[in-house]
A and B are shown apart, each in its own frame.
Chain A
Amino acid sequence: MAQTIRIALAGNPNSGKTSVFNNLTGSRQHVGNWPGVTVEKKEGRFFYDEVEVTVVDLPGTYGLTAYSLDERIAREFLLHETPDLVVAVIDSSNLERNLYLVAQFLELGLNLVLDLNMMDILEARGVSINTEALSSILGIPVVKTVANKGIGIDALRKAIVETATEQQKEITFKIDYDRDIEAEIETLSELLKDKKLSKPYPLRWLVVKLLEGDPEVLDQVKTWPQGKEIQQRVLESRIKLERHMGYDLETAIVERRYGFLDGLVRECSKKKLGIKERLDVSDRIDSVVLNKVLGIPIFLALIWLTFQLVFALGNPIADWIDALFGWLGGAVSAGIATIGGPVWLSSLVSDGIISGVGSVLVFLPNIMLLFLVIAILEDSGYMARAAFVMDRFMHALGLHGKSFIPLLIGFGCNIPGIMATRTLESRKDRILTILVNPLMSCSARLPIYILFAGAFFSKHQGLVLFSLYLTGMVLAILIARLFKTIFFKEEVAPLIMELPPYRMPQLKGVFIHMWERGSLFLRKAGTIIVAGVMAIWLLASLPIGVEYASQESLIGKLGSLFAPLLEPAGFGFWQAAVALIFGILAKEIVVGTLGTLYGVGQEGLRVALLQYFTPVSAYAFMLMCLIYIPCIPAIATIKRETNWRWTGLAVGYTLLLGWIVAVIFFQLASAFV
């Protein structure tokens, strides 16, 4: 009979967990070097011996105390979703630190299989591990793998299925925390023994966590009958022990765990002498890349190269896509005409849907290339270093070194940028980074700049573009500082991050990562933009009989309503108002909307704009487009990552700021020009 089991993969960041996942399930997924890159809960499946195994890939974590959102996801899953079995994937070349997590899993009484991954690196260093000894001391099966080369995966599958289908053994694993602590564990265990606990945690684990002061376990205890009394009792034990030992209990407990692991590693591994350390090369690269003098120039050069590459390679491809959709629109509307379809249908399909979607897909090459380069920088290990290079600068902004990555991604598209904030540990840093992310001018806003800069500043297009990107960044700094003083008074969380050794990025992994992020953008093109374009088309065609996109149409009336508000910024006509309203759906729509409303194609649009805008009001309009309201998919993402309050703030402040900046610019510039 076919049996189904569900297992989870857990491990430290950079333990090669994602590689193990890919090889176990054959699924496509990313292998990253940026610690904690596996953010979504990913599932895969494999069959072994007629058993169907569902595998959940958990975000990387160092322990069972949740610091970042990623770690909380992993912890919640392990504690509350009780998988049939957990595979602890560890980087064998850093055995002791990685086993620390395993020790915590064992204390929790999880049904475990230990996967000693990256065995090749360890063996190259002349270290051998006695897996039988390790297995018998820990009381769990141990499998050696080299996941990125597919070695040992079948043995792992076998161990998983065998262990999961067996009757689970009693927990025998126990770390000896020394006499004093053990005595307190015993008294507290006695006290908690009869309590009907809301979740079936092992008693000893619960007690140790209480002594460690785990905030979530403490909160849970509070809800029990006599919770207050238990808390009081725990506090007494802590004070007693700390007075006795002379330092804090948490450190003492962690130290004992490491002490145990130190002994374990000594007992189970053998090292040949005289073998060079593996990280020599990495350390040497770091001494250059993180150098006081060279660090920032190297970083800036890489970013400059990134954008050069993105535009130099992306723009020609974008032109082909543009041409393709132009041809498609013409062909389809001609086709509809030949089969006698109504004019409105051909207008909806070619003017609405095809040109709308086309105007979005034009950015796909640029966006994909940007994500490709970012994936390469991540997988090589450089991105983690960049966070350090940028740390001091980001601190000056009141942000965290790690915030830099989400902001950089924001230049491609704010949605993955906002999602990338999940690796930030403090809620405050996350929220600040999310709030200012829309000020990073995403590639969707680029066509607006290109159109206007081309029409009004043809000799200084590059400069105009640069000034807009820069304005966005400067505003981000100011806003971050402002919000920090208003909403968050505390210090920025100090930066500590593991630096993975530099690795050659693997082509497959890089492309998978690029696709995962880029496809978010594609999905947006397929859904919200099609809907938005159709809404515009409809509003421009109603009431029935009105001239398409004229001032008498619904859309024209809507625009006329808001136009007076835009007067002080220099573009108080209804077409601009409508374009901005629809730009909220997706910024790319602004260009298409203007085209529709002026009833001209791309080429005619420039001429039409010259009649309505002056260079000063054109620049003010670009400023408005840069700043005002994130697009709807971005708003939805902000809501998903925070709550309505912060989402409301993000929408409100960007609208207000956009208007203020555009008005100030227009009024000042008009006075001088």
Chain B
Amino acid sequence: MVPLSMTPTGAKVKVARIVAGSRLRSRLAHMGIYEGTIVKVIANVRRGPVIISRDEARYGLGFGMAKKIFVTYLSSPRPKSE
């Protein structure tokens, strides 16, 4: 499990855990991002925003937000530190 903020561009990942309060979790859930959702990392700027796609929607997550979402890899290379 790695935070979304550390995933490389192009990775296909599954949301495993969201470390946040219920308000934020529920906000994300309304947008279709909850434990079990499969998303693709469209762009990841180091220490900057992470852009993910869920189906046709593109979401931008600030760095702070991306740190709170833990994911597991479905495809694409695992970083060496893993």
Contacts and interface: CB of A to CB of B under 8 A. Distances in A.
Interface residues of B, number: 38
Contact of A495 (B30, B31, B54, B65): B65
A247 interface: yes
A129 B71 CA distance: 32
Contacts of B3: none
Contacts of A496: 27-28, 31, 59-62, 65
B51 A250 contact: no
Contacts of A248: 22, 25
A94 B57 contact: yes
Contacts of A60: none
Nearest to B56: A94
A498 interface: yes
B48 A290 contact: yes
Nearest to A63: B30
B25 to A, nearest CB: 7
Given A286-B42, A495-B65, A62 B51 contact: no
B14 to A, nearest CB: 13
Contacts of B63: 391-392
B48 A292 contact: yes
B55 A97 contact: yes
B63 to A, nearest CB: 6
A255 B42 contact: no
- If over half of B's interface residues share one DSSP class (helix, strand or loop), that class is named, otherwise mixed; here it is mixed
A63 B51 CA distance: 22
B29 to A, nearest CB: 4
A75 B33 CA distance: 21
Contact of A100 (B23, B27, B30, B59): B30
B74 interface: no
B45 A93 contact: no
Contacts of B56: 93-94, 97, 277-279
A592 interface: no
With a 10 A CB-CB cut-off, give which of A100, A212, A254, A498 has the most chain B CB atoms.
A254
A392 B51 contact: no
Interface residue tally on A, bucketed by range: 35 or more
Given A67-B23, A290-B43, A492 B64 contact: yes
Interface string A61-76: 0110101000000000
Contacts of A84: none
Nearest to B32: A97
Contacts of B53: 279
A498 B31 contact: yes
A395 B49 CA distance: 12
B33 to A, nearest CB: 8
B58 A279 contact: yes
B62 A65 contact: no
Nearest to B66: A494
Given A295-B45, A388-B48, A392-B47, A250 B25 contact: yes
Interface in A177-226: 212-213
Contact of B51 (A93, A96, A290): A290
A496 B62 CA distance: 6
A494 B65 contact: yes
Contacts of A255: 29, 34-36
Contacts of B46: 292
Interface of A: 62-63, 65, 67, 93-94, 96-97, 100, 212-213, 247-248, 250-251, 254-255, 258, 277-279, 282-283, 286-287, 290-292, 295, 384-385, 387-389, 391-392, 395, 401, 425, 491-501
20 contacts: A93-B56, A97-B32, A97-B55, A97-B56, A212-B26, A250-B26, A278-B56, A283-B43, A286-B58, A287-B9, A290-B49, A292-B46, A295-B48, A388-B48, A388-B62, A496-B31, A498-B58, A498-B59, A500-B58, A501-B58
